[in-house]
Amino acid sequence: MHVIRRRGWELPERLATPEACFLNRRAFLGTAASAAALALAPAAASAQRVTDIPDPTKDLYPAKRNEKYVLDRPLTDEKINGNYNNFYEFGTSKNVTAASQALRIRPWNVKIDGLVEKPFDIGIDDLIRKVGIEERLYRHRCVEAWSMTIPWSGFPFARLVELAKPTSGAKYVRMETFMDPSMAPGQRTPYYPWPYVEGLTMAEATNELCFLATGAYGKPVAKQHGAPLRLAVPWKYGFKAIKSIVRFSFVAERPKGLWEALQASEYGFWANVNPAVAHPRWSQASEELIGTGERRPTLLFNGYGDYVADMYKGLESERLYV
Ligand code: MTE
Greater pLDDT, 155 or 20: 155
pLDDT digits (tens, 9 = 90+) for 198-209: 999 999 999 999
Length of the chain: 322
pLDDT digits (tens, 9 = 90+) for 108-125: 999 999 999 999 999 999
pTM of the entire predicted model = 0.87
Give residues (CB < 6 A) around ligand 1. 9, 85-89, 142, 177, 196, 225-226, 238-239, 241-244
Pocket test for ligand 1, best of 5, 78, 87 (most atoms within 8 A of CB): 87
Ligand 1 mean position, distance from CA 244 (Å)? 10
Strand order in the sheet with 172-177: 120-123, 109-114, 245-251, 172-177, 197-201
Which atom of ligand 1 lies nearest, measured to the CA of 87?
6
CA separation for the pair 254, 174 (Å, rounded):
8
Which amino acid is residue 310, in one-letter code? Answer: D
End-to-end CA distance of the chain: 28
Distances in Å between the alpha carbon of 148 and those of 138, 209, 289?
Answer: 9, 17, 6
Among the residue ranges 20-24, 155-159, 229-233, 273-277, the one predicted with the least confidence is 20-24
Residue 67 in this model has a pLDDT that exceeds 60: yes
Ligand 1 mean position, distance from CA 89 (Å)? 10
Residue 117: partners with Cβ closer than 8 Å, 6 or more residues away: 165, 166, 167
Pocket test for ligand 1, best of 243, 246, 262 (most atoms within 8 A of CB): 243
Ligand 1 mean position, distance from CA 190 (Å)? 18
Is 202 within 8 Å of 251 (Cβ atoms)? no
User: For residue 97, what is the DSSP state?
Assistant: T
Distances in Å between the alpha carbon of 319 and those of 57, 175, 207, 269, 316?
Answer: 40, 21, 20, 8, 8
Q: Closest Cα to atom 15, ligand 1: which residue?
A: 239
CA separation for the pair 99, 184 (Å, rounded):
9
Residue-range domains of the chain with CATH = 13-51 (no CATH), 60-312 (3.90.420.10)
Among the residue ranges 46-50, 121-125, 312-316, the one predicted with the least confidence is 46-50
How large is the angle between the packed helices 124-131 and 157-164, nearest 10 degrees?
110
Greater pLDDT, 28 or 192: 192
Percent residues over pLDDT 70 in the chain: 84
Residue 151 in this model has a pLDDT that exceeds 60: yes
For position 53, what pLDDT does the model report?
A: 79
Ligand 1 mean position, distance from CA 143 (Å)? 11
Mean pLDDT over the full length of the chain: 87
Residue 5 in this model has a pLDDT that exceeds 90: no
pLDDT-based confidence at residue 13 (cuts at 50, 70, 90): very low
3-state SS, one letter per residue, for 6-17: CCCCCCCCCCCC
Ligand 1 mean position, distance from CA 225 (Å)? 7
For position 36, what pLDDT does the model report?
A: 37
Average pLDDT for residues 278-293, to the nearest whole number?
95
CA separation for the pair 312, 13 (Å, rounded):
34
Residue 49 in this model has a pLDDT that exceeds 80: no
Percent residues over pLDDT 90 in the chain: 83
